[in-house]
Structure 1
Amino acid sequence: MQDVPHIPVLYREVLENFSDVKSGIIIDCTMGYGGHSSMILEANPHIKLIGIDQDQTAIDFSTNRLKKYGDRAEIRKGRFSSVIKDIIKECGVGNIRGVLADIGVSSLQLDQKDRGFSYESDNLDMRMDRDAPLSAMSVVNDYSTKELERVIWEYGELRNYKKIASFIALNRPFSSAKELSDALSPMLPKDKRIHPATLLMQAIRIEVNNELGELESLLESIKEAKFSNAKIAIISFHSLEDRVVKNTFTKWKENCICPPEAMRCLCANNYSLGKILTKKPIMAQDDELKQNPRSRSAKMRVFNMESQK
């Protein structure tokens, strides 16, 4: 694979939000195939970018793609929730001026049927890190009915989650995503905009990769770092992720952290970490939607971490 037939989602909006970063380090927590990373390096000629990814295929590709930027580009392998802690410790909080995270599976991963992310895939994998122990095969064929119910309800928000979980348990083993989605199609919601199995596949993928846990850990690491001047941009693709980001940013901006029932403030009223730069999430423009229909679900929220009092 020499060329990337894929333009990263919300690329203009990402570049605009980091346009005032003239120096220092920007961390791309979900580097993938280097789309956002290469554009940021091109648009911000005096910054260094550190990209993180757990997919070795993506790392191999991006290593070649970003080599023209020399030591301005650095790549780390691993889960961003833990790797970012090492980067912060090594580079120093004051040198980091931006953090970008494009949460979820990439278009290229979806299109590679051997990865098992698509409902048309001939296997059941869905691991972003192919060395990880838990796969979709294990979730579907080994989880108890109760565990399947939890996954389908919490991560897919499918109302008939008990019926779906029971069907899977009674009819397994399943050997491919296509077999699973075809078998369950009659009991999955019909929506002209998406394939009936989309929410089910999403639920299994989130479980396999601990996506919400990773996002929450990332946000906690950013909070603990106490950046003095850094933009935090998070792109999510479904309501569960967006809810986590929205609620976290709302908490970060509050000066007072006293419980609602408190009669008066007892916390010194100086806990704000900065300000929210996006009152509403940024979404794809019409021309991008036409070019990349998958961008319709993308929402970006941006927070500016400021010097702590």
Structure 2
Amino acid sequence: MLDATRQRPGDPWFAVWTSEILRVLGGLTNVLQGGRLTEPVVHKSRRELKRLRSLLRLAPASLGDLADDTREVTGELRRRLGHSRDATVMLKTLNSFSADLGEAASRINPVLSAHHRQASAMLDRRSRRWDRDRMARFGALWRASPIQGDARDLCKGAVKTYRRARQQAIALGKGKDAALHPLRKACVDHQNHLAFFALGAKGKIGSRHGKLKRLRDQLGLCHDLEVLCDFVRTRADISASDLIHLEDVLMRRHGQLVQKAVKSAAILFAGKSRQFEKWIRREVGKTSIAAFVEPSRPPVVVPPDLQEHTG
């Protein structure tokens, strides 16, 4: 059972970190309580869920269980929303290559459009109410949870993510294409960590965040091309000739993006993890954070039906 009588953390970085987690959970609760989930809303919600995943990876060991449970539940929602988002992206990707694909694009488009309608219809109102209640539950648990530590604990999580990204960048540089997807995920977390520690300032952390965006975009486009190819390969209603033509066009572009990503990753992750650890701690120490700390709030008592967060 959580001890809800303890005070909120004194360290300002932990106060900001906690408030960011609560902000995302609260925003998701409001979105899921509203009406139709339009494509822009799904896209924004997915980005916020990824941001939440990244923030939870900064959690200290004392909050490991709650962070893991939150990440598991919100990750399931993110993947479900991903089906609708992937269907939208596949259509946009196909349209962006329509000039190269010619008539093949017009024959493939109806198949993707039908799939898009089906994927969008799966986000029914009943499942959204269930998701909304779970987001609200975790929001209550995070408001009540005792949190102790300092900025060094958060930096440890950022260093782990950097190390993970660097390992995948090295593997990709050695020609291991299987590293593309894990590198993309690690880059998303790494960029979100930089955004958190930068607090909107235009310092060295913000500069690295901007450089990383280019790599993240390259890896994201690679993923979009792979998703479209993988989907079309499963469809019996798309001819073999159209599939071959599509693969030829998309994989040519995919190869170009991979080459750029290899170069970008080699530069961004050239330094060893120990070097990054010293750098991030030094830069975080320079950041003025007092203006971002919310006024202290009274302790929150969690209702008995919300105290079990592993369900």
Specify which structure has the higher proportion of helix.
2
| Higher alpha-carbon Rg | 2
Specify which structure has the higher proportion of strand.
1
Does the TM-score normalized on the shorter chain lie above 0.5?
A: no
TM class, shorter-chain normalised?
under 0.3
**Structure 1 length-normalised TM:** 0.24
Higher relative contact order (CA 8 A, sep 6+): 2
